[in-house]
A and B are shown apart, each in its own frame.
Chain A
């Protein structure tokens, strides 16, 4: 039994990492006052760019960088439309998602089934020998280790730096920025692009470290999960981290049980991640809206 728990927790980290990158990216955008439903698209282009560049250059790190750039570029489309053209955020986000899906199925065909070097798990010396924690946290790929630092870094940056303050102000009281001679649009645009870049890293992690393959539509809705996650984590990076692992655990439970021959209703297991999301959103109810950045609340209401 205890070994089932360890396996589910390990799987939670394995499967939650890509979602966490995307959700942290969405957090940046939303804290600046922009909802980006195109996150799924940024993950997809990140996954393809990551896999393709790893295949062409032989270096997974180059792939990760490409995933970052590609995810950011796709989000730039959203930023331009929403921030400068004032287009509807939801309609634009969905369109950008379909753009990412279309572009990747067009250019991705050549990489389906193609071999590429990827990130392999590396046990961290000493730490990996710890009971339970060693296995759950320290037998992963290098990108996953990077992800451990991402949420605390973002928490610190948003809270404790001038850049973080400007970004939060863009999301809460854009007028204040105007008065002080800043351009809130520029800050929002930058936040959306940086968020897309993070989602691209998540996609690249999915393709080059987790699945070791590219396939059309391989993110399978994880980008949308990330958007929902940001809301139920009330826009806080550390809660986003916890929520990603909760989601990862829900995804990891089914295979962990099945590999032991334990029977549980498969359909219930498949629905579990979504049931959890719905339950948390229902429990939080209107409280989430109250916690939302003010400028974002205007988008929602």
Chain B
């Protein structure tokens, strides 16, 4: 149904895009200037609504911080932009309005973003969360934080809190971001509770509350007593968990208000500083060759992670907090995936003593030992 909603929203888009195409091609050949320099506007496209209390809302808030930092720039936003060629049309319409810096904020926007970048060498196009696997064009790049780091820390809280030793993870699709999160959660839990297991259940949708309810009900029935998730809308799973007297680890936002008893901690976004810095770099004419003209990843090891840990709930004890503090310090030089990391079959995938880099971690396509569940094979 979100697709239908997007479709409905789209009925309006081709109208805008038609006018955009002409202006767009007109500007194409004219410049050899640095991409994004002299931009009078910044465009942001989101795959969902800006008020979903999740991924898209966080990205939208980041865009508003750019607006605050640069009052002279027009910040153009578009919601419910599908992950197909229509995204390119929406981006072209923004370029027609003077935007030379474009943020394509969903994983599936990458193809359209690269297409737009190729058509407009003077526009800097950055994509959030995916990886450019070919040569990176001079005016494009991807960026992301290492979300699995705060998820690892939250896993520590889960490992300490569980009584049954069973943790639950409700996820949507087996993309690398999600696989990394599930693995990191389990590894964090294991680091303080070697017997802890994570049961992974997929819903095959970013937001289907009824499927989420069914997933949570089944996990709770199996004796899981801490549940976390990777979904765009999060309330259903949290409420079911709280009603069953189990613990919640959040994702996307601080939802402790709907889980006053069972809230442990979670991970949430803070995009503002990173967005603003990307805009600053592009406006200054230094985009090409900068760290953002690449697959830019930032984590505890390299700087200010746009993913931060959510506040603690009332039942997290001092010992757990201390363990998390210690782990966070360790992550400044290490990684949740520091070897040895073993997969479900017992095969060592990352040897002892190795600290994998961010790109390697984003290519992990297996569950680690301790995760219960099978990755869907295509």
- Please report A residues at the B interface, Cβ cutoff 8 Å: 7, 11, 14-15, 18, 40, 98, 101-102, 105, 109, 112-113, 115, 120, 206-207, 210-213, 215-222, 251-252, 254-256, 258-261, 263, 265-267, 270
Instruction: Count contacts on B: residues with CB < 8 A to the other chain.
Output: 46
B27-35, B138-146, B210-218: which lies at the interface: B210-218
| A259 CA / B204 CA spacing, docked (Å) | 15
CA distance A216 to B202 in the complex (A): 20
Q: Please give the residue numbers on chain B whose beta carbons come within 8 Å of chain A beta carbons, in ascending order.
A: 1-2, 4-5, 8, 49, 51-53, 168, 199-205, 207-215, 217-219, 221-222, 224, 233, 235-236, 239-240, 243, 257-258, 372-374, 376-378
The reply to whether B233 and A213 form a contact with Cβ atoms under 8 Å apart is yes
* C-alpha gap A101/B49 in the complex (Å): 14
Q: Is the interface of A mostly helix, strand, loop or mixed?
A: helix
Nearest-neighbour CB distance to chain A for B231, whole angstroms, equals 10
Give chain A nearest CB distance to B102 CB in angstroms: 25
The one of A11, A210, A216 that contacts B5, using a Cβ cutoff of 8 Å = A216
Interchain nearest-CB distance for A288 vs B (Å): 26
Q: Which residues of B contact A251 (CB under 8 A)?
A: 210-211, 214
Q: B2, B204, B205, B213: which contacts A216 (Cβ < 8 A)?
A: B2
Chain B residues, Cβ within 8 Å of A113 = 51-53, 233, 235
Q: Which of A105, A215, A252, A260 contacts B214 (CB 8 A)?
A: A252
Closest to A8 in B: B218
CA distance A216 to B3 in the complex (A): 11
| B54, closest chain A residue (CB) | A113
From the candidates A109, A211, A221, A254, name the one contacting B213 in the complex (CB within 8 A).
Answer: A211
Contact A112/B1 with A255-B215, A263-B374 known, Cβ cut-off 8 Å: no
Please tell me if the beta carbons of B202 and A266 are within 8 angstroms of each other in the complex: yes
**Nearest neighbor of B377 in chain A, beta-carbon distance:** A265
Q: Specify which chain B residues have a CB less than 8 angstroms from the CB of A220 in the assembled complex.
A: 1, 205, 208, 210-211
How far apart are B128's CB and chain A's nearest CB, in angstroms? 21
Given A101-B1, A263-B374, residue A109 in contact with residue B239 (CB < 8 A): no
Q: Which residue of B lies closest to A218 (CB)?
A: B209
* B residues less than 8 Å from A101 (CB atoms): 1, 4-5, 8
Contact A15:B200 (CB < 8 A) given known A105-B5, A215-B233, A255-B215: no
Q: List the B side residues contacting A258 at CB < 8 Å.
A: 199-202, 215, 218, 373
CA gap between A123 and B200 in the complex, in Å: 29
- Count of chain A to chain B residue pairs whose CB atoms are closer than 8 Å in the complex: 129
Q: CA A102 – CA B6 in complex, angstroms?
A: 10
Contact A18 B204, beta carbon cutoff 8 Å: no
Which listed residue (A15, A112, A207) contacts B52, Cβ 8 A?
Answer: A112
> Chain A's nearest CB lies how many Å from the CB of B6?
9
Contact of B51 among A112, A212, A266 (CB under 8 A): A112
Q: How many Å from the CB of A214 to the closest CB on chain B? A: 8
Which residues of B lie under 8 Å from residue A221 when comparing CB positions?
Answer: 1
CB-based contact B213/A210 at 8 Å: yes
Report whether A115 and B257 are in contact in the complex, using a CB–CB cutoff of 8 Å.
Answer: yes
Partner of A211, one of B51, B209, B243, B376: B209
Residues of chain B within 8 A (CB-CB) of A14 are: 213-214, 217
CA distance A14 to B217 in the complex (A): 10
Tell whether, in the assembled complex, residue B233 and residue A112 are in contact, meaning their CB atoms are under 8 Å apart. yes
- Enumerate chain A residues within 8 angstroms of B215, measured Cβ to Cβ: 255, 258-259
| Nearest chain A residue, comparing its CB with the CB of B53 | A113
CA distance A252 to B211 in the complex (A): 8
The smallest beta-carbon distance between A38 and chain B, in angstroms, is 13
Residues in A with CB closer than 8 Å to B222 are: 259-260
